[in-house]
Structures are given as C-alpha cells and as structure tokens.
A and B are shown apart, each in its own frame.
Chain A
Amino acid sequence: MADYPVHEYDVLVIGAGGAGLRAAIESSAAGAKTAVVTKSLLGKAHTVMAEGGMAAAMGNVDERDNWKVHFADTMRGSQYLSNCRMAEIHAKEAPARVRELEAWGAIFDRTKDGRINQRNFGGHRYPRLAHVGDRTGLEMIRTLQDHGIHQGIDVFAETTVIKLLQDGGRCVGAFAYDREKGRFMAFHAKAVVLASGGIGRSFRVTSNSWEYTADGQALAYQAGAELLDMEFVQFHPTGMVWPPSVKGILVTEGVRGEGGVLKNKDGKRFMFDDIPENYRPQTADSPDEGWRYTQGDKSARRPPELLTRDHVARCINREVKAGRGSPHGGVFLDIAWIKEKLPNSVEHIKKKLPSMYHQFKQLADLDITQEPMEVGPTTHYMMGGIQVDAESQMSSVPGLFAAGECAAGLHGANRLGGNSLSDLLVFGKRAGEHAAKFAKSNGADRVNPADIDAAAQAALAPFERGAAGENPFTVQSELQDIMQNLVGIVRTESEMEEALGKIEALRARAAKAGITGNIEYNTGWHTALDLDNMLSISEMIATAALERKESRGGHFRDDYPEKDAEWGKYNLQIARGTDGRPMVRRVPVVPLTDEMKQIIEEQSK
C-alpha cells in the first residue's frame, strides 16, 4: 500500500449535518473515540437550509397533541409505507431530543407562557413544529456544532470519502481525500455511521446544495447494503421559479403555515378543488376556516394549502400544465393578503418569515409583504435510502450504520414537513449510541491495502486523461436534465426506459472524465469523482420507479395514475446484483401491531 496516513477511531461518522453531529455527540459521550468527516466546513451542511422547524408532539400550543397523533400523522403522510416501528420511535422520542437542544444552547421562539413555541405545518394535525423564525436548521446545526466542539470529537473538514473499507462483509473504515491539498487518507474504524444527506443534485431544479450527490447511498450500495424506497423522491411544492438563476431555491412551507395561500393566474384558490378523501375530515370547508386555523383557532380545520407536499406539488403542476400558471411557469403564493386581517401585517411577516423576506427582496426584487411570490415544485428530499434496523440504525452490512436523509424507513412514500429535523436528532442519536456499542463489543478488523491502492488509482485516473477527457461539469449537467425531464414529478414507463438508456450512455462518458490543473482544491476533479455516485443513484431511482406500477406519495405515474392497494403491501428493495447492476425486489411492509392499528383508527376520525 502506498504511504497514506491511517487514522484510527472507534466510530467514524461520515457527514456533519444534523444526523452526523448528533451521532458523533452520542458516540463520543459513550466513550468511543469519534471522528467526523465532512465535505464542507463545519456548520455548512445542508441542514442549515431547513427552515420551518422540527416536529415533536410536546403539546405546548395545543395540549391535545401527543405521540400517538404524531405517529398516526406520519403513517398517513407516508401512505402507510413507513417502517411503523421507526415512526413510533420517532414520535415518542422527538420531544426529548428538542428539549435537549435547548439544554445545549438553542434558543427557540417562545409561547406567551414562556415555553417552546410550535407552528402549524402540512399534514400535522396540531401545531407541532418547534422553530426559530424560518431558520430552524441553522439553529440546530449551530447548537450541535457548538456543543460538539467541546466534547473532543475530531473533525476532518473538507474531506470526501470515496470508498468504504471492508473486511469480509464487515465495514471497517473508509478511504478519503482532503479537498484542499488532494491528499488521500484512510480511516480505520470499528463502526461507521453514514449521515451524508440526499441526492438532489441529480436533478436540474432542486433546493439542495452541491453536496447532495448521493455519496452515502452509493457507498453503502457498493459495500453490499440494501436500499429501500428509492422511487420516492419528494418534490417540494414551493421553490422559487424566477429569476432563472435561483430557480429551485426553497420557499418554506411556513409561509402557508402563517396564512399564505396558493392562487392561479385567475386569482382562484385552486387547492380547494382537490382534497383527497382521507384528509377531508381534517380540512377546512372555507377560506375563513382555513385562516382561523393558521391563527390558532382550535375549532378550525387546516386550509388545503397545508395538505401533504406530494399532493400540493401535483396540484401546482396541474395548474401550470393547464395554462393557469403565473408568468414564469409557477403559481402565486400570497402572504401579503393577510393585511386584510392583520393591521401590522408588514412587521408580522418580517418577524415570522425573515429569511423569506430577505431572499425575495435580494434575489427577486420582490417585497413579499406587498406582492405575491411565484413558486413551483423543486426536488427537495429523498425518502428512500439505506435500509436500517429501526432500533439500532445498522444496515445489512455489519458495522455500517446510517441516519438522516441517507437512511430510509421513517417517511415511506412521502415525508411530512418538519419530520426531517426531528428524524436527524432521534435517529442520529440512536445511530451514534449503537455504533459506539458495536465498536465496544467488536474489536478492530483488518483493512485490505489492495482495496486502498485500487481506490486511489481509480480516483487519479481523470488527471491522466487531462483536457482530452470529458468535461465532468457537462456530464453532470446532462444527468440533471435527464432526471428532471424523464424521472421527475410525473413519470411514465417509456420516459423512464429512455432515462435508463441515457444514464448508461452517460456512465460511459463519465468513465472518460478528464481534468486539467493540479490536485489542490480542484473542483473539476471533485465533480468527476461525484459522478459515479450520482449516476448510480439515478439508475436506482429510475429502476425502482419503473417497477412500482401505481401512484403513491412522491411517486406519480401518468400511466398508472391510481393508488393500488396491492402495491400498498410492499416496499421496493434494491441491492447490487452479481452483475453489479441494481436488483430490485418487493419486500412486505413492516406489519402494524394491534395497538398501532387502534391508534390509526382513532386518529382517522
């Protein structure tokens, strides 16, 4: 083996967003020597972009809320494809995880009686999201970061993992390079936690940062782990649509939670036209009832703008396709109208939605306290990912754990807003705890030097091809168009087959990617190395989406537009076949216990 530095740890955490930091804090608190590897600087991970809040049934604003209601909401939102045990753990443990953040220095917005305030969000029956204005993710990551740095966790910033190291089946570390100098390094660890986030960069229009190149999912797949629910990508209904350069940037659901309404170009609130049967009992009959709900009237039901994201996104898509959209191909999201109801609406909007106010003012020259915004769907979140054990978060590869967006199970076919930040904390903590336990009860295994040499050689190949090779940015850009146009919000068999063919052709071109310049902070090289992960996950998404011949949650098929009860019995699982290609199979959903069935029945009234 060439002379690369080898760092020895009990637990290696890959990713420094909410899940990674929470896992590292737990593992290190349990006495395990812990390192965090992050592609960016500390505190910059995609978690900072989360806006609305974290869902936890604390009942601070509405005392009727409790874990059972949260559990039932999550299951209904997931179209009953969630791992119900994960949904139960999540609903039960989220309140404690939120309070813990306060004990570590987070400062949440308060209720009048001085407790943590909670806001309304789509699919949640009661006001449930603990929040800080519309910058909750920043508060969360900063709190975890500032708590973690005093705990003796080693942080390897701007370092990218390119391979998981294995001994037999077990995961025993990772091989990485640092972005600044381009030096390779190996991590030898007794347990590894993947917390690397999502996949959004494979789509043209996305709210996701550059980091979201599906690293964790692809690394786990290469290592032989099973992935689940890969057909379920969440398209958030409200991203910016204008100007073109900011298309896709998120507009928080909090705008609708605070009373914002969706209208088409004729000024019609089109969401009242299409309310799914299973949500009808909980949805407002009139605009007035909807408004009263957003202002905390407990006798009112939620406005249809706060239906689940998959449904709202499709309704917007329908309006635009029918020619009833806004000038730049979206619809109108109007919060300014609340001046009819609130005398101090300008100050109120600025206080409740400060980032949104600035974002539109600075990027679109638009004052949201006076004019409606233009919004449209944007690729936002990956429901699917690495299949894990509900209790421990261990994948099917021994010693390899996963938490947060790169893991699957909690969200099924559709994630509720606010369930992601709480997911990061609840399952990040569990992953850290169980990784530390695993490290204690399993000694160090061997790292195979040949694996490391092969990985290093493959990573350096783009330099040998130089300027004669393919431009990696061009390949990435073409992939984004393919996924956006052919495997996006509305899918059909022929388009997805076309996408698979094109992905295959791009894979051949990606294998010829060439790089100029030297190895230090060479963004072209970094992009070339990301391509493999992006292509491999795109292939899995298309493969699973082709297989599921129905429409459910984030997965909508034009050729199978109805939900099919038979398909509701299965999750789709993907693993690497013997030919190296993704092999997809149906696995039965985790069965509900009698108690769970009873809860769901009570809550569906």
Chain B
Amino acid sequence: MSTATFQIWRGERGNGKFVDYTTEYETGMVVLDVVHKIQGSVANDMAVRWNCKAGKCGSCSAEINGKPRLMCMTRLNQLDLTQPVTIEPMKTFPHVKDLVTDVSWNYEVKKKIQKFTPRKPDAPDGTWRVQQADVDRPQEFRKCIECFLCQDVCHVLRDHRLHDEFIGPRFLIHTAQLEMNPLDTGNRLKALKDDYNIGYCNITKCCTKVCPEEIKITDNGIIPLKERVVDEFYDPLGGLFKMFR
C-alpha cells in the first residue's frame, strides 16, 4: 500500500487553515474515501457533506487541487500524488465548517422561478402526447444533480458576488428546461432579462467544464435562452412584425 499527503481545509466560518494528513491508499479509491478514512481515524469531528457516494446526489462538492469537483467521483489515479493534494470547500458560498458550505441561497433562488404550468391534456384520459425528439433537450438539463459546482465556478457569483442580481448557470438551465418543455405554457423571458440578468453571463463556459453530468450548460441552455430574450426584446424587425400581427 502506498501513502500520500492530503491538505484538508479545517476551520469555521471562513477562519481556518490547511491541515496535512498523510495516509495510506489503495487502488480505485476516490477522494471521498480518503476523507472518510481520515475522519474515521484521526479527525472524527471533521465536517463533510455527502450522501450517495455514486455521483448521483451532488452533495460532496469541493475544490480539489483548486478545481471544483465531486469528491466521490474523483479517483486518486487522476491526481498527482507525488505532491500534496489540497481539498477545500467551495468558495462561492458562505463557509460553515471544514469542507461544508452554506448553499441555502440556491434553494431561495429556485423558489422565485415561475413554476411548471402544463397545457391542457391532449387525450381525454388526462395524458399528453409528446415525441421523444422534443424532450431530448430538456431531459439533458434535468440530469442536473444540483451539486452547484457550476455556481461555484461562475465568475459573476464567485468574483463579482452578484448573488442578489444573477441566478447563475444552475438556474439558467432550470429555467431552460421549463422553457423548452413542450407541455409548459409559462413565459420566463422578461424575468430572464430583468430579474435573473441573463445578460451578465458572457459565455466563458467555465460552468460547462465543471459539470459532472456533462450538461452543455452554455451551448445548449444559456445561449438559446439569450437568443430568445434578444428575439423578444431587442429585435427591431421582429418588433415591427409583432405590432402588425
């Protein structure tokens, strides 16, 4: 068995420091295994949030060697173990303790987004008829596991701290799946422009890069939404057309 050193951020409410833990590891281990091993032996009180350990719940988000990732899906053989590996909490959200942050802002944001409102059923038995091709796109967005890594890496939130004005990539694709659901009758374009400030996103695609579900957040979600907003509010010819419609 080989050993490696992990520098884990320990502390509370933003005050803390890296603490070195040198531990043995075996083939196939992921970063979350190492964190559990250390917690179970020498750091019983270490705070770490996790649930499924299978990349399905999106609880164990952290920054590993500076990169936002799920601890449960980061295998040690993807890391350079000749150097100490750093494990820190996400930076975009208020720190609670050790690797845990307060992500409650995300839950508040979602409540503000207009809910799904279906059209009348297509069949007398109250069901709808929808072709698979028409739901492939919203299904892609619904793969989201709400790990908030995209929010963590978004510079509008991370660097400019515009949490009060911008909903972030997670909720832009949430809005996108509602807007692109063929059954939905809602319209969130004005809110996208004025309340969610989709214009703040300058499509650097950092969110897409960190998404563990490999959702094409920018290309398939945000850019089409931006186009819809532009068509609705900034297209002079289209505006003229609408006046005479």
Contact = CB atoms under 8 A, between A and B. Distances in A.
27 contacts: A40-B57, A44-B51, A44-B58, A46-B51, A46-B52, A48-B57, A49-B52, A49-B56, A99-B127, A102-B127, A103-B118, A107-B135, A107-B181, A133-B139, A146-B115, A147-B116, A149-B111, A243-B28, A243-B29, A244-B27, A246-B28, A249-B53, A515-B44, A516-B44, A517-B45, A524-B45, A525-B45
Given A180-B96, A209-B53, A524 B132 contact: no
Contacts of B33: 245
A146 B116 contact: yes
Nearest to A243: B28
Contacts of B118: 102-103, 105
A516 B126 CA distance: 57
A43 interface: yes
A472 B41 CA distance: 10
Contacts of A364: 28
Contacts of B39: 473, 523-524
A354 B135 CA distance: 16
A66 interface: no
Interface stretch (B142-150, B151-159, B219-227, B237-245): B142-150
Nearest to B122: A114
Nearest to A364: B28
Contact of A48 (B41, B52, B177): B52
B130 interface: yes
B59 interface: yes
Contact of B28 (A114, A157, A245): A245
Interface string A265-278: 00000000000000
A115 B138 contact: no
B201 interface: no
Interface in A500-523: 515-518, 520-523
Contact of A132 (B52, B128, B139): B139
A110 B44 contact: no
A471 B44 contact: yes
Interface of B: 12, 26-30, 33, 39-41, 44-59, 73, 75, 96-98, 100, 102-104, 107, 110-111, 115-116, 118, 126-132, 135, 138-139, 142-146, 177-178, 181, 183-184
Contacts of B135: 107, 110
Interface string A40-73: 1111111011000000000000000000000000
A114 B130 contact: yes
A114 B115 CA distance: 24
Given A115-B127, A138-B145, A362-B75, A210 B51 contact: yes
Given A110-B130, A362-B73, A105 B178 contact: yes
Contact of B40 (A114, A359, A473): A473
Given A105-B116, A520-B12, A359 B54 contact: yes
Contact of A522 (B45, B53, B56, B102): B45
A281 to B, nearest CB: 32
B130 A48 contact: no
B116 A104 contact: yes
B97 A520 contact: yes
A599 interface: no
Contacts, number: 173
Contacts of B57: 40, 44, 48-49, 209
A170 B39 CA distance: 40
A242 interface: yes
Given A49-B52, A138-B143, A522-B44, 19 more contacts: A41-B59, A44-B52, A44-B146, A49-B54, A102-B183, A113-B129, A114-B128, A114-B130, A135-B143, A142-B146, A211-B51, A359-B54, A471-B44, A473-B44, A474-B40, A515-B44, A521-B97, A521-B98, A522-B47
B148 to A, nearest CB: 10
Chain A interface residue bracket vs B: 35 or more
Contacts of B104: 157
B50 A521 contact: no
A210 B40 contact: no
Nearest to B144: A142
A9 to B, nearest CB: 20
A405 interface: no
B44 A472 contact: yes
A39 to B, nearest CB: 9
A523 B139 CA distance: 35
B45 A523 contact: yes
A49 B58 CA distance: 11
A465 B183 CA distance: 59
Given A48-B56, A150-B115, A109 B44 contact: no
Contacts of B50: 210
Contacts of A515: 44-45
Nearest to B182: A107
Given A43-B146, A114-B129, A523 B55 contact: no
Nearest to B13: A520
Nearest to B178: A105
Nearest to B73: A362
Contacts of B48: 523
A57 to B, nearest CB: 14
A79 interface: no
Contacts of B139: 107, 109, 132-133
Interchain residue pairs A-B with the least CB separation, the first 5 = A243-B28, A517-B45, A524-B44, A114-B129, A105-B116
A604 interface: no
Contacts of B46: 523
B115 A209 contact: no
Interface centre among B29, B118, B146 (most CB of A within 10 A): B146
Contacts of A41: 49, 59, 103, 107
A478 to B, nearest CB: 12
Nearest to B177: A107
A383 B127 CA distance: 32
Nearest to A150: B115
Given A242-B28, A364-B28, A42 B107 contact: yes
A46 B51 CA distance: 8
A358 interface: yes
